[in-house]
A and B are shown apart, each in its own frame.
Chain A
Amino acid sequence: MQISTSPQTSVQVKPMKSMSPWAIARRKFVKNKLAMISLFYLIIVAVVSFLAPYVTTIDITRINIGEMSLKPSSEHWLGTDKSGRDVFTRLLYGGRVSLLVGISCTFFVVVLGTIVGSIAGYFGGKIDNMMMRFTDFILNFPFLVFVIVLGTIFFGKLNGLAVLIIVISALSWGGVARIVRSKILAEKENEYILAAVSIGCSPIKVIGKHLIPNVLSTIIVQSTLLFASMIVAESGLSYLGFGVPSEIPSWGNMLSFAREPDVLQGKPWIWVPPALIITLTILSINFVGEGLKDAFNPRSRR
């Protein structure tokens, strides 16, 4: 998510000299309105969520019996939930947790998947065979069962959030590993990789300096899509009660109130805001992902 929005677009006198492929992609991305609006929305959500303690001073942990299930008003913008907690405030704090889980999981998954995939793809042969067997094993693991079992084992012993992040990451890198491997397999056929070996680059250098940077566009596009699915995973698990510990607000935890029929039918202000913000966030991430994909595609000039 490091898209600098420097105003490069205004300089268009002559065909720009010496633009790195990255600069060209950035220019194309900046011109994509939908992607830029989505990115803007995501930045706002992220900034407001992470600055929650400065945005609102309401205590989210205090249960206020006198203010249970209030409708939206000027005092409580989005009303209060069944424990009398301000929904808007919880939405902000929940965003913090949901985004944090999403970002950390994406980070670990991408790093792990890239390491495994690039080593397997570059070396090939037995190493590739072994690593891909293991990847298949991970991919076929019953995800939900494992999350529930591990969650129960570590419940109370470790920080619930950390357990969730570790478990999701450890079980999700398989897809990235496969995609990176196939990209590396194709990319390493290029003569510049042979050249890199012949000028004395070590395997680590060939992978890190020549191969990964050249498949980075794919990795970045994948990580945006992955980021969206990680947020869905958090919400889904929390909704089912196996995700973020219930005392910590998260979008998924807030959504789980909708399991109660009276909330679902009569108190939409409690569950509609988290549902809406999750949907919008996922949509935006996907639009950004599509925009990046387009920007990196050399065939789609401007």
Chain B
Amino acid sequence: MSTMDLKNESFNLEKNEKETLLEIKNLKTYYPVKGGFFQRTIGNVKAVDDISFSIKKGETLGLVGESGCGKSTTGRTIIRLLKATAGEILFEGKDISKLSGKSLQAIRQDIQMVFQDPYASLNPIQMVGDIVAEPIKNFKSIGKKELKTEVMDLLQKVGLPEDAYYKYAHEFSGGQRQRIGIARALALRPKLIIADEPVSALDVSVQSQVLNLLKELQKEFDLTFLFIAHDLSVVKHMSDRIGVMYLGSMVEISGRKSLYDEPLHPYTKALVSAIPMPDPRRKANRIVLKGDVPSPLNPPTGCPFHPRCAVAMDECSKTKPILKEVKPGHQVACHLY
């Protein structure tokens, strides 16, 4: 037991020594709701409501939560497709949440995104070669021949045949299209890739191939991932650490093993129990959540999860619990702890 702990500690130390690549501090992203005759802002969809987390270099942070909980909004805010309403996005120690113009363009070289929809994320009238070449052309002035070699190289790296260069996206299957998207994200040799449910639109048989490709590329290019998924089973194979989101808030964040073996938050417990298990004993314990996810336009007071929580207390409807570390490396936002 004690040797195990020691091992764990030295492992943690090693992890802690790695530099932090991305640190999110109290990030909020609201979508204004316009209405009335003058199209005034009459409310806010609080898609991301005060979340904080960090990702170390070379690490994969999985971000899970039901659809609509604000995962994509988080990813898109980090890559600056959306403007943060409040908070800081520290990339390599520098706040990028307020950048604009040239300095914003520069940061795009370091952060790239793989999108969810393999069909809508590729321009239908662009040749695959051009799709992959475009990011390079935007930032570097290199010769035609050199560019082509580089693109061919990228296509090969993501496992596409050479003649893919001259084809159009509609000639490929979903999995192959996702590979094209990955090649495009890889083209600028970014440090951080935000993968927004990259396999959720794919057949189960294809999913693992794409996940494996991402893992291989991570090793080869020393990539850091923010890996978004809507269920824990996909995230499990990819992530070092996992964050669980619920209605715009981060409810739990911890190392993978700790989260799967000892989930703390009642919501995480429900998610973990929903993972299909070969072990029949676990099946019996499945926790089914009651009710629906409330609207982020009008979130409940206190803990966002309390209306659906089986163990909710009085306090839960009054104050919003903050994320606190209850075990080394395991944070949870719940009044129970």
Contact = CB atoms under 8 A, between A and B. Distances in A.
A192 B122 contact: yes
Interface stretch (A15-23, A220-228, A282-290): A15-23
Given A195-B181, A198-B112, A214 B124 contact: yes
Contact of B188 (A20, A197, A199, A205): A199
Contact of B167 (A18, A200, A214): A18
Interface string B184-201: 100110000000000000
Interface in B89-127: 105, 108-109, 111-113, 115-117, 120-125, 127
B81 interface: yes
Nearest to B134: A199
Contacts of A191: 115-117, 120-121
Contact of A18 (B113, B115, B168): B168
B122 A21 contact: no
A41 B120 CA distance: 39
Contacts of B81: 194, 197-198
B305 to A, nearest CB: 30
A246 B271 CA distance: 81
B123 A196 contact: yes
A211 to B, nearest CB: 10
A205 B138 CA distance: 10
Interface size class of A (residues with CB under 8 A): 20 to 34
A110 B113 CA distance: 35
Given A190-B120, A192-B120, A214 B125 contact: yes
A213 interface: yes
A199 B120 contact: no
Contacts of A18: 166-168, 171
B39 interface: yes
A197 B7 CA distance: 45
B165 to A, nearest CB: 10
A96 B124 CA distance: 39
A199 B113 CA distance: 9
Nearest to B164: A18
Nearest to A190: B120
Interface size class of B (residues with CB under 8 A): 20 to 34
A24 to B, nearest CB: 9
A192 B171 contact: no
Contacts of B76: 194
B79 interface: yes
A210 interface: yes
A129 interface: yes
B166 A201 contact: no
A17 B115 contact: no
B125 to A, nearest CB: 5
B139 interface: yes
Contacts of B105: 200
B112 A199 contact: yes
A197 B105 CA distance: 9
Contacts of B307: none
A195 B117 CA distance: 11
A199 B108 contact: yes
Given A198-B112, A199-B112, A199-B138, A192 B123 contact: yes
Contacts of A197: 81
A195 B121 contact: yes
A200 B168 contact: no
B135 interface: yes
A233 B112 CA distance: 51
Contacts of A22: 125
A38 B112 CA distance: 49
Given A17-B167, A200-B105, A200-B135, 13 more contacts: A18-B166, A18-B167, A21-B170, A22-B125, A191-B115, A194-B113, A195-B122, A199-B138, A199-B187, A200-B108, A200-B109, A200-B138, A210-B123
Interface of A: 17-22, 129, 190-192, 194-201, 205, 210, 213-214
